[in-house]
Chains A and B, each alone.
Chain A
Amino acid sequence: DQQVKQNSPSLSVQEGRISILNCDYTNSMFDYFLWYKKYPAEGPTFLISISSIKDKNEDGRFTVFLNKSAKHLSLHIVPSQPGDSAVYFCAASVDAGGTSYGKLTFGQGTILTVHP
C-alpha cells in the first residue's frame, strides 16, 4: 500500500524556469511533510518541510504548498538551476507528541533534470 505517491517518475525543465514536483498521500494521520534531494551515491539531503497547520512554507528558491483537503503537496523551485538536477523525494510523518519516532514514509521519487 503506497501511502505516499509521486506519480511523475521524471521531470525536465529549462534553466531559469519553474520546476513543480508533486506528491499525493492517502493516510490522513500524516501531519508533517518533508522534501529531500538525492544525488547518486549519496544519502538524501533535507530541503524543506511543512507542518499540517500551514499551507505554504518558503525557503529561498524552494516553496512547498500543502493542500490538506486534496491530500496533495508540491515543491516549487524558482528559478531552476542545472545543479538542482537530482532525485527528489517527498516524505510524510505522523507527529506523536513532538517526535516521529524516526519513521518517515517516502514516495518513489521524481528525477528532475534542469537543462542549461
Chain B
Amino acid sequence: KAGVTQTPRYLIKTRGQQVTLSCSPISGHRSVSWYQQTPGQGLQFLFEYFSETQRNKGNFPGRFSGRQFSNSRSEMNVSTLELGDSALYLCASSLRGNYGYTFGSGTRLTVV
C-alpha cells in the first residue's frame, strides 16, 4: 500500500510570508501527527489530528496551525515565517493514534 505522502518535498519562502504543507496519510489511517526537525532542537511534536479534530498540541506559537479533512488528509500552515522556521517538517500517520506511526519523507522548508 502507498505510504505517507508529503508535498512539496522542498520549499523556499521569504521571511514574513506564509506557507501550507500537505500530508496524505496511509489509506485507512485516521490519525495524523506533525513534527518539526531542526539540527538544534531535534524532532519536536507540533500537533495531532484524529477524525478532523485536533487532539494534542506541542509547544509552538500560534503561527503554526493545522487541519484535517474528512478524507484524513492534513495540512499545516505557518504564517509570518521567521528564519528559525527553516526545518524539515515531518508528517506521520497511524490507524487510531496508537503507536504504529509511519512517517513521510518530509518537506524541507527554507526561509530566506
Contact = CB atoms under 8 A, between A and B. Distances in A.
Contact of A99 (B44, B97, B105, B106): B97
Interface of B: 4, 31-33, 35, 42-45, 47-50, 55-56, 58, 90, 92, 94, 96-106
B33 A109 contact: no
A102 B105 contact: no
A34 to B, nearest CB: 7
Interface of A: 32, 34, 36, 41-46, 49, 89, 91, 93, 98-109
Looking at chain B's contact residues, the main secondary structure is strand
Nearest to A109: B42
Nearest to A44: B103
Most buried by B among A36, A49, A98, A99: A99
